[in-house]
């Protein structure tokens, strides 16, 4: 598939996916959502790619939200479908078996903040601004923001940001735990790619089971969550990479993981 709103730069074992509508600050229209879905489904199946960086084109924006010109025409039924479609794509990203890193290179607002939150790791440029300004449009977040924001930064801070629509700096986002790192804008992509390479060297199945245990466990009671962890620990003990990792340690050499 040829993409008009997304650029894909595969350099195995990593791949950089760029939302590419800089003239509209990379706002997510329906075409972008469809193309993003297709890119991610393709990368999920591509064993040569072990980590993904997601970013926005241009210096100004990661993603400035869902495309407001499309939202303006929605009625109740269409609005529900609109939210469900975006939610499905973002949930697919969150459930991917390989790590996805958001490199937040500017505005990450509304759907942009929600997209970043559906990624597993988030690094922001110093000039980035994050927020859920939907309230200022008379709407609410529909791509997971009301659910992922409180899970990431706690109820008090999430409710403040959701209800005021305030934008926060990268530094503040770091303080709240919304991003894990802040770097200068010109270093952002390089840093995100380095992190992707670092993760690409890890045992892919172990990474998958970490993501699986964390995301399944966070929504259930602790006893059920610990059962999930034990199940994932057992599964990873059946892998060749587990034998390789432990033997390499005992033989004082570097492990080579194969994803088996």
Binding site for ligand COA (CB under 6 A): 24-25, 27, 64-69, 107, 109-111, 133-134, 137
φ and ψ of 199, to 5 deg: -70, -30
User: Least distance to ligand COA from the beta carbon of 92, Å?
Assistant: 20
Q: Given the complex with ligand COA, which of 49 and 104 has the nearer CB atom?
A: 104
DSSP state of 61: E
User: Least distance to ligand COA from the beta carbon of 141, Å?
Assistant: 8
Q: Which of 70, 114, 190, 240 is catalytic?
A: 114
Q: Which of 134, 171, 184, 190 is catalytic?
A: 134
User: Least distance to ligand COA from the beta carbon of 136, Å?
Assistant: 6
Q: State yes or no: is 134 an active-site residue.
A: yes
Burial code (b: 16+ CB inside 10 Å, e: under 16) for 165-181 equals ebbbebebbbebebbee
Q: State yes or no: is 240 an active-site residue.
A: no
Q: Given the complex with ligand COA, which of 141 and 245 has the nearer CB atom?
A: 141
In whole angstroms, how far apart are CA 96 and each of 43, 84, 245?
Answer: 9, 18, 23
User: Least distance to ligand COA from the beta carbon of 58, Å?
Assistant: 10
Q: Given the complex with ligand COA, which of 44 and 137 has the nearer CB atom?
A: 137
DSSP result, 152-206: HH-HHHHHHHHHH---EEHHHHHHHTS-SEEE-GGGHHHHHHHHHHHHHTS-HHH
Q: Given the complex with ligand COA, which of 19 and 203 has the nearer CB atom?
A: 19
- Give the DSSP H or E segment for 234: helix 222-237
Catalytic residues: 114, 134
């Amino acid at each position: 598939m040829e993409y008009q709103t997304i650029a894909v730069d595969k350099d195995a074992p990593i791949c950089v996916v760029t939302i590419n509508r800089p003239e509209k600050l990379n706002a997510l229209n329906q075409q972008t959502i469809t193309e993003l879905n297709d890119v991610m489904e393709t990368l999920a199946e591509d064993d040569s790619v072990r980590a993904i960086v997601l970013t926005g084109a241009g210096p100004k924006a990661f993603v400035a939200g869902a495309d407001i010109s499309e939202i303006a025409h929605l009625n109740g039924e269409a609005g529900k479908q609109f939210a469900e479609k975006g939610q499905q794509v973002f949930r697919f990203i969150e459930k991917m078996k390989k790590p996805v890193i958001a490199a937040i290179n500017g505005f990450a607002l509304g759907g942009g903040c929600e997209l970043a939150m559906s990624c597993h790791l988030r690094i922001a440029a110093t000039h980035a601004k994050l927020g859920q300004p939907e309230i200022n449009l008379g709407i609410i977040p529909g791509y997971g923001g009301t659910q992922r924001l409180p899970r990431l930064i706690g109820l008090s801070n999430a409710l403040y940001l959701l209800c005021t629509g305030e934008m926060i700096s990268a530094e503040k986002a770091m303080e709240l735990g919304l991003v894990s790192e802040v770097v200068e804008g010109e270093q952002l992509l390089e840093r995100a790619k380095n992190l992707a390479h670092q993760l690409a060297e890890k045992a892919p199945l172990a990474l998958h089971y970490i993501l699986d245990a964390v995301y399944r466990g966070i929504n259930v009671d602790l006893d059920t969550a610990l059962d999930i962890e034990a199940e994932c620990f057992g599964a990873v003990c059946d892998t060749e990479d587990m034998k390789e990792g432990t033997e390499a340690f005992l033989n004082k050499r570097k492990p080579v993981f194969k994803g088996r």
